């Protein structure tokens, strides 16, 4: 039994976190404004470090559109994942999962577990489907009169998706395990058994998820904002709870279908494309012997979306609804790429990371590397891109202080994800999918980032890596 003093302390902690989250929402700028502020800061830093105007201008020029392929890949991940989410098969599966929990604690535990599994398998699944799971779980909980704060649940699943950093799609470890990578002369090949499957990683991932589940009990807001307070999010959820018709349906369908309409509804035509996509995947994995990459993931998502919708007409309607989820990345990625270009192609990134590395000892190296990585991650929204910037310095500094380069890589992952959790960049993606202003929940993700950071630094300082 919890005594009254303990309850008072818990409520005080909840109130403080709620006030912090609200304050963050009031004062943090939107993602585009934040990007412009970052641009000014990095340009000022480049000038202070002696970079001439020509170098700064060239760096911005080289960076602004360097993420065009990545932007399209991310857009497809979000759109195709969302099109899967509005399919009848996915809605039935989510509805079945959402009916399992019988209490608030069970809602959070199941949402964390499912999101973590998706993210561990592939980071894009956690990013795209985690917020949708939060929507469906929150709506079913409210229907059952279980008090679940929707922004807090959304922040929780976003935090749970952090485990992708040490999952099967972790970009930097996969890159360092690839022959011919850019640091091969410095570090050699890094087997995955020494990075994402190192003892420190295997202990850290479940430990973080367990602590996250405990934290949801301690830090949940005192005043519950249920999903009914967010009408746009409810529009997504009600398709499951009320078995609403497909979005974008025609209000007055024609009495008889003509040839083109019958063709659109014919599943045989869709399976021709499914066969072509399956052949592409077979060639990619079996013939060329390649591993999972963004193109393979998007091909798989497209194939799955076609299978669950069965015909071109249903798939096209799902795309029209899903396209609303991807608007944040279409322009913002390029604005952030301009800032990333300034960091990569001037001395700003190297000077900043190098200053931290020069202060390192074997016991402070993971901490300082993670701190540097967290700050750089705010400017560079790609884990692989960040490793390209910090990799040489991190690996070189690791050798100088007497620790493995793998330990440095794993510490970079901690800082990278902390930056992702406190940056508006990724928050606006999750908010776009859930159709909620990211400032309503980013304060909570900042609180969870502290848990991630502390546990991660401890794991990669003292456990074998």
Residue 147 scores a pLDDT above 70 = yes
22-26, 188-192, 399-403: the lowest-pLDDT one: 22-26
The C-alpha R_g of the chain, in whole angstroms, comes to 23
Q: What is the pLDDT of residue 359?
A: 83
In angstroms, the CA 454 to CA 318 distance is: 41
Closest CA to 391 of 379, 381, 376: 376
Pick the residue with more confidence: 73 or 16?
73
pTM of the model: 0.75
Closest CA to 34 of 447, 448, 428: 428
Cβ–Cβ < 8 Å for 115, 128: no
* Residue in this structure with the two tokens 């901490």, named with its chain if needed: 367
* Residue in this structure with the two tokens 């919890």, named with its chain if needed: 2
pLDDT tens per residue across span 87-122: 888 778 888 899 999 999 999 999 999 999 999 988
Q: Average pLDDT of the chain?
A: 84
Closest CA to 341 of 30, 89, 62, 120: 62
**Secondary structure (H, E, C), 321-378:** HHHHHCHHHHHHHHHHHHHHHHHHHCCHHHHHHHHHHHCCCCCCHHHHHHHHHHHHHH
Both tokens of 357, joined, read 């590395």
Both tokens of 255, joined, read 């009495």
Q: Give the model's confidence band at 344: pLDDT under 50 very low, under 70 low, under 90 confident, else very high.
A: confident
- Provide the greatest CA pair distance for the chain: 76
Q: Give the model's confidence band at 230: pLDDT under 50 very low, under 70 low, under 90 confident, else very high.
A: very high
Distance of CA 45 to the CA centre of its chain: 28
Q: What is the pLDDT of residue 53?
A: 95
Neighbours of 5 (CB within 10 A): 8
In angstroms, the CA 199 to CA 178 distance is: 21
87-91, 139-143, 241-245, 459-463: the lowest-pLDDT one: 241-245
Q: What is the pLDDT of residue 4?
A: 44
In angstroms, the CA 61 to CA 337 distance is: 10
- The Cα-based distances of 305 to 140, 277, 381, 407 in angstroms read 24, 12, 27, 39
Cβ–Cβ < 8 Å for 86, 239: yes
pLDDT tens per residue across span 187-229: 999 988 999 999 999 999 999 999 999 999 999 898 899 999 9
């Amino acid at each position: 039994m919890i005594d009254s003093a303990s309850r008072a302390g818990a409520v005080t902690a909840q109130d403080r976190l709620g006030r912090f989250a609200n304050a963050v929402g009031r004062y943090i700028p939107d993602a585009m404004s934040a990007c412009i502020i970052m641009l000014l800061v990095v340009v000022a830093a480049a000038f202070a470090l002696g970079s001439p105007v020509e170098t700064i201008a060239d760096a911005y020029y080289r960076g602004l559109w360097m993420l065009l392929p990545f932007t399209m890949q991310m857009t497809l991940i979000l759109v195709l994942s969302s099109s899967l989410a509005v399919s009848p098969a996915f809605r039935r599966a989510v509805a079945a999962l959402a009916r399992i929990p019988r209490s608030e604690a069970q809602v959070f535990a199941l949402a964390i577990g499912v999101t973590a599994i998706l993210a561990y398998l592939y980071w894009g699944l956690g990013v795209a489907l985690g917020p949708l799971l939060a929507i469906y779980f929150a709506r079913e909980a409210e229907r059952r009169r279980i008090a679940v704060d929707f922004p807090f649940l959304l922040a929780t699943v976003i935090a749970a998706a952090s485990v992708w950093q040490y999952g099967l799609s972790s970009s930097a470890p996969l890159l360092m395990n690839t022959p011919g990578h850019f640091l091969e002369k410095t570090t050699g090949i890094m087997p995955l058994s020494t990075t994402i499957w190192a003892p420190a990683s295997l202990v850290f991932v479940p430990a973080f998820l367990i602590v996250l589940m405990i934290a949801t009990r301690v830090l949940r807001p005192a005043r519950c904002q249920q999903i009914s307070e967010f009408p746009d999010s409810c529009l997504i959820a009600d398709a499951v709870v009320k078995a609403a018709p497909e979005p974008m349906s025609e209000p007055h369908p024609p009495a008889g279908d003509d040839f083109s309409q019958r063709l659109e509804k014919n599943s045989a035509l869709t399976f021709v494309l499914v066969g072509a996509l399956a052949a592409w995947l077979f060639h990619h994995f079996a013939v060329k012997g390649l591993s999972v990459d963004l193109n393979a993931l998007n091909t798989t998502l497209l194939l799955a979306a076609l299978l669950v919708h069965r015909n071109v007409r249903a798939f096209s309607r799902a795309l029209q609804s899903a396209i609303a989820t991807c608007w944040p990345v279409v322009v913002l990625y390029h604005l952030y790429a301009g800032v990333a270009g300034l960091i990569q192609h001037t001395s700003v990134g190297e000077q900043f990371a190098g200053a931290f590395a020069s202060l390192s000892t074997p016991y402070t190296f993971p901490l300082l590397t993670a701190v540097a990585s967290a700050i750089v991650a705010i400017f560079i929204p790609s884990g692989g891109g960040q490793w390209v910037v910090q990799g040489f310095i991190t690996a070189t500094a690791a050798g100088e202080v007497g620790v493995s380069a793998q330990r440095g890589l794993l510490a970079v992952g901690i800082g990278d994800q902390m930056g992702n959790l406190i940056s508006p960049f990724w928050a606006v993606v999750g908010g776009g999918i859930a159709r909620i202003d990211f400032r309503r929940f980013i304060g909570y993700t900042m609180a969870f980032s502290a848990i991630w950071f502390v546990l991660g630094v401890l794991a990669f300082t003292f456990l074998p890596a």
